[in-house]
Amino acid sequence: MLKANDPCWCGSGRKFKRCHKASQERLRPGAVSAPRDVPPHIPRPDYAATGTPIRWDEPRVKSADVIDRMRRAGRAAAEILQLAGEAVDVGVTTDELDALVHQACIDRGGYPSPLNYRGFPKSLCTSVNEVICHGIPDDRPLRDGDLVNLDVTIYLDGVHGDTNATFLVGAADPESRRLVRVTRECLERGIEAVVPGRPLSDVGKAIEEHADANGFEVVRAFVGHGIGEQFHTDLQIPHYYEPRLATIAEPGMTFTIEPMISMGTGQHRLWDDGWTAVTADGSRTAQFEHTLLVTDHGAEILTVAPDREHVG
Q: Per-residue pLDDT tens for 152-188?
A: 999 999 999 999 999 999 999 999 999 999 999 999 9
What is the dihedral sign for C-alpha 249, 212, 5, 94? negative
| Residue 189 and residue 243 in contact, taking contact as beta carbons nearer than 8 Å | no
Note the pLDDT of residue 7: 31
Considering the chain, what percentage of its residues have pLDDT values greater than 70? 90
In this predicted structure, the answer to whether residue 287 has a pLDDT above a threshold of 60 is: yes
In this predicted structure, the answer to whether residue 147 has a pLDDT above a threshold of 70 is: yes
Mean pLDDT of 282-288: 98
Note the pLDDT of residue 139: 98
**Amino acid in position 311:** V
Note the pLDDT of residue 25: 83
For 53-110, the pLDDT digits (tens) are: 999 999 999 999 999 999 999 999 999 999 999 999 999 999 999 999 999 999 999 9
Mean pLDDT of 29-44: 97
Local confidence band at 24 (pLDDT 50, 70, 90 cut-offs): low
Mean pLDDT of 9-13: 33
Please give the mean pLDDT across all residues of the chain. Answer: 92
Note the pLDDT of residue 149: 98
In this predicted structure, the answer to whether residue 307 has a pLDDT above a threshold of 70 is: no
Nearest alpha-carbon partner for 163 in 149, 151, 181, 147: 151
| CA 269 to chain CA mean position, Å | 18
For 47-56, 116-125, 189-198, 300-309, which range has the lowest pLDDT when averaged over its residues? 300-309
Distance CA 202, CA 237 (A): 10
Question: How open is the CA angle 151-216-7, to the nearest 5 degrees?
Answer: 50
| Residue 260 and residue 285 in contact, taking contact as beta carbons nearer than 8 Å | yes
Q: How far is CA 297 from CA 191, 197, 250, in A?
A: 12, 10, 10
How many other β-carbons are positioned within 10 Å of the β-carbon of residue 28? Answer: 8
Nearest alpha-carbon partner for 49 in 125, 111, 95, 126: 111
**What is the DSSP pairing of strand 260-262 with strand 217-218?**
antiparallel
In this predicted structure, the answer to whether residue 271 has a pLDDT above a threshold of 90 is: yes
Note the pLDDT of residue 23: 43
Distance CA 158, CA 169 (A): 34
In this predicted structure, the answer to whether residue 306 has a pLDDT above a threshold of 90 is: no
Q: Report the side by side order of strands in the sheet with 254-257.
A: 254-257, 290-294, 299-301
> What pTM was estimated for this model as a whole?
0.91
In this predicted structure, the answer to whether residue 4 has a pLDDT above a threshold of 50 is: no
Local confidence band at 35 (pLDDT 50, 70, 90 cut-offs): very high
